[in-house]
Amino acid sequence: MFDFLAGVLAELYKIWPSFGGAIILFTTLVMLVLSPLSIKSTRSMIAMQRVGPEVKKLQAKHKGDREALNKEMMAFYQENNINPFSSCLPMLLQIPVFIVLYQVLIGLTRR
């Protein structure tokens, strides 16, 4: 992945022969590629916020019984087609990409 991203940055440098400009193009390109994941994450967070009041009602109803609360929450999420972890997954997938991007940019300073 490192070599691929470094190659992309090198090609962008050929288009715009300035490391600053190439990094701006590179950042824009990466954000465009990762935008579907960001959009999915945002939509999932909005859905979770929308059902927040109902979730609080369930929590108040089952205050002392964790097991009953978990069962009811799972049923509630299934009824509303909500996956509570779907907002986290896209972000977790982006982390390795940004780590490699950082390594590529640090590698530029060592040359």
Q: What is the pLDDT of residues 47-65, one digit of tens each?
A: 888 988 998 998 898 888 8
Amino acid residing at 43:
R
* Whether the predicted pLDDT of 98 surpasses 80: yes
pLDDT of residue 71: 92
The answer to whether the predicted template modeling score (pTM) of the entire model surpasses 0.85 is: no
Among 70, 69, 1, 73, CA closest to 33 = 1
Written as one string, the DSSP assignment of 64-98 is S-HHHHHHHHHHHHHHTT--TTTTTHHHHHHHHHH
Q: For residue 62, give its domain range.
A: 2-109
Q: What is the pLDDT of residues 22-45, one digit of tens each?
A: 888 888 888 898 888 888 888 888
* Whether the predicted pLDDT of 105 surpasses 70: yes
- Taking CA 32 as the corner, what is the angle to CA 27 and CA 38, rounded to the nearest 5 degrees? 105
- Taking CA 92 as the corner, what is the angle to CA 87 and CA 95, rounded to the nearest 5 degrees? 135
Residue with tokens 């977790």: 92
Task: Tell me the mean pLDDT in the region 58-80.
Answer: 89
pLDDT band for 111, please (50, 70, 90 cuts).
Answer: low
Task: Give the number of domains in the chain.
Answer: 1
Higher pLDDT: 12 or 87? It is: 12
Sign of CA dihedral 83, 84, 87, 92: negative
